[in-house]
Amino acid sequence: MAKQNLYWPIYMNLEKELIALSNSIMFDDADGSHQLDTYSPKISELLLRCAIEIESISKDLYYENGGVREFKPNGEEKEPKFDYQCLKLLNDTWQICSKQVLVTSANFYFTKPENKVITPLKGVCDKDGNMWNSAYQAVKHYRATSMNQATVKNLIHAMAALYLLNIYYRDEKTLYRLGRRFGNIAPIEDDNVVSFNSEVFSLRVHQYISMGSDVPRRTGRAFPDAVYIRKYTDPSIQSIVPEWFESNKEIIKKRKEILAKRPEVKEFLDNGGTLSSENAHLILQALGKPLLEKMNVLKLFEDKKAFLINNPKIESVTAQAIDQIFPDCNITFENKVITKHNIEAICIIVGTLGLAQVVNSEFMFSDTPEYKKFVADGGVYDTDHFFDVYHYFGKPLFDEMTKLSTLEEKIDFISRRPDYRYLAKSLPSHLTQVFPGQSIEFDGETLSSENIEPICILVGAHEFAIKHQKKLDNFDSKLLSDKPTEVILNKGQRLYSKVVLPADWIF
């Protein structure tokens, strides 16, 4: 028997009252405007009613998705906290606190990105809480002294949270097809947007229409802000797997040969592991374990945390990287916060990302005379020798630049190179990784006597890499153009749960 849904009609009634309010109060965010800070008894009433619905629907979703009922010593059932407990469970499984909602009402005159695209449940599980929840708690307990927190902005964010939770609560197979936009919705350039009859909010459907080595293993957790994902069907991907694999077979073989030589992977192989499709995540974890061993030499948690924070690769830890290296583990790294629960996994991921960069570099360069000479001269491919690797392959350009007499000539020489313009924004992080401890300052634009030489080395190494790069996906992408697609609600699940990969499929 289908569950009775009382939440959506109540939400729609609240939305009508919100729209009516916007006919009395101008909802805009123009410079100098304070309309979003407007507060009133009516707004406080709507905020309370909305938050009460959020509390109730959160608890229902909590129990429906594995929440455990707890009891007091006298046998009376404990009421779970909707934020720290219920929404935390949903965030651990669905990343619901990262989901984005579009504010698309034609009655709301918003121009600033932060008011047009919001993340209404962000921070709601944290001790510091979030904006609308803090306002709700204050207004509920101290109405007279906290009325000024019942603002238009807090009400809109609370309503967006209720809208989002309703989408997950309904979770109907036909819901997406019924979600077309109509009514009082402002024009949107992106057609991949659905509103589900709401005249205030919409959701963008994330388009994941591609093919690559990691696609068949990807989960929804790689797209934390997406509520809906458009993807190929399982049969679509399965039909293309053999051809994609065949066209990339030689490149995959070469990468496996390089991986097999890595000491970290050799240990994995010596212990019975194999370079096979089902072990892909274990191979990646093996690459990250040396860094974990270094971190675990430290005894205090704060020292371990500092060890990780000071590693430049920490900035590269994304939901996609977590998903690929620790699939189905629900490891959270919200707002880059390191905790005792995630520190070892995050350390392995940081180590993996560092060594993966080394492996990819070796994969690209291994057939070149320059690489062979580097190794013959005693060069070592490792994260601890990044400077040597980059300096070696960037030296030809560096030597060419040093023939110039003045700083102005050198700056002109580098700034005109296409690879410099391509790299400019990412150079600050590259400088930190390749020249650790040297504090080389670069704002993404200004070349100077202090940074011109290291930047020249990086640009030279990048040019060398581009010249010799080998890429996967060496097949005709037009083969995918007519394949059937489907849209799914993103609950962090495997996107292609039934696809069978060749045993030799790696990354």
- Spatial CB neighbours of 14, under 8 Å, sequence gap ≥ 6: 46, 49, 50, 53, 159, 162
How many C-beta neighbours within 10 Å does residue 341 have? 10
Contact 504, 283 (CB under 8 A): no
- DSSP for 285-325, please give it: HHHHHHHHHHHTT--SHHHHHHHHHTSGGGGG--HHHHHHH
Rounded alpha-carbon distances, angstroms, from residue 186 to 118, 161, 288: 16, 20, 48
**Between helices 263-270 and 249-261, what is the axis angle to 10°?**
90
Question: How many Å apart are CA 298 and CA 230, to the nearest integer?
Answer: 45
Question: How many Å apart are CA 271 and CA 289, to the nearest integer?
Answer: 14
Strand partners for 71: 77
What residue segments make up the domains of the chain, in order of their start?
Answer: 7-208, 209-245+479-507, 249-366, 369-468
Three-class DSSP category at 109? strand
pTM: 0.80
Could you say which DSSP state residue 477 is in? G
Could you say which DSSP state residue 86 is in? I
pLDDT of residue 185: 40
pLDDT of residue 173: 54
- Which residue spans within 177-324 are E strands per DSSP? 193-194, 201-208, 228-232
**Between helices 131-141 and 152-170, what is the axis angle to 10°?**
110
- Spatial CB neighbours of 120, under 8 Å, sequence gap ≥ 6: 101, 132, 157, 158, 160, 161, 164
pLDDT of residue 191: 55
Question: How many Å apart are CA 175 and CA 489, to the nearest integer?
Answer: 10
Could you say which DSSP state residue 151 is in? B
Contact 110, 28 (CB under 8 A): yes
- Spatial CB neighbours of 110, under 8 Å, sequence gap ≥ 6: 27, 28, 29, 103, 116
Question: How many Å apart are CA 210 and CA 481, to the nearest integer?
Answer: 10
Residue-wise pLDDT tens digits, 327-358 = 877 787 877 889 988 999 999 999 999 888 88
Contact 35, 121 (CB under 8 A): no
Strand partners for 488: 229
pLDDT of residue 399: 93
Question: How many Å apart are CA 325 and CA 130, to the nearest integer?
Answer: 30
Helix residue spans in 69-130 (DSSP H): 88-94, 113-116
| Both structure tokens of 354 | 């560092």
CA nearest 160: which of 203, 192, 191, 194?
203
Question: How many Å apart are CA 203 and CA 166, to the nearest integer?
Answer: 13
Residue-wise pLDDT tens digits, 165-198 = 999 998 765 555 545 443 334 444 445 788 888 9
pLDDT of residue 90: 94
Contact 288, 347 (CB under 8 A): yes
pLDDT by residue, tens only, the chain of 507 residues? 456 678 999 999 999 999 999 999 999 998 888 899 999 999 999 999 999 999 999 999 999 999 988 888 888 888 889 888 999 999 988 999 999 999 999 889 999 999 999 999 999 988 777 899 999 999 998 888 889 999 999 999 999 999 999 999 987 655 555 454 433 344 444 457 888 889 999 999 898 888 888 888 888 988 999 999 989 999 999 998 888 888 888 888 888 888 888 888 888 889 888 888 888 889 999 999 999 999 999 999 999 999 998 887 888 888 888 888 888 777 878 778 899 889 999 999 999 998 888 888 788 788 888 888 888 888 887 777 777 888 888 889 999 999 999 999 999 999 998 888 888 778 887 787 778 778 888 888 889 999 999 999 999 988 888 887 766 666 666 777 788 888 899 998 889 988 888 888 877
Question: How many Å apart are CA 122 and CA 99, to the nearest integer?
Answer: 8
Three-class DSSP category at 76? coil
Handedness of CA 172, 176, 177, 181 (dihedral sign): positive
Question: How many Å apart are CA 175 and CA 152, to the nearest integer?
Answer: 29
pLDDT of residue 408: 93
Question: How many Å apart are CA 96 and CA 321, to the nearest integer?
Answer: 19
pLDDT of residue 175: 55
Question: How many Å apart are CA 474 and CA 104, to the nearest integer?
Answer: 40
Q: How high is the mean pLDDT of the chain?
A: 86
Residue 27's H or E segment, with its range, is strand 27-28
Rounded alpha-carbon distances, angstroms, from residue 17 to 13, 24, 376: 7, 11, 75
Question: How many Å apart are CA 500 and CA 324, to the nearest integer?
Answer: 17
| Both structure tokens of 272 | 């019975």
* Total residues found in the chain within this entry: 507
Strand partners for 27: 108
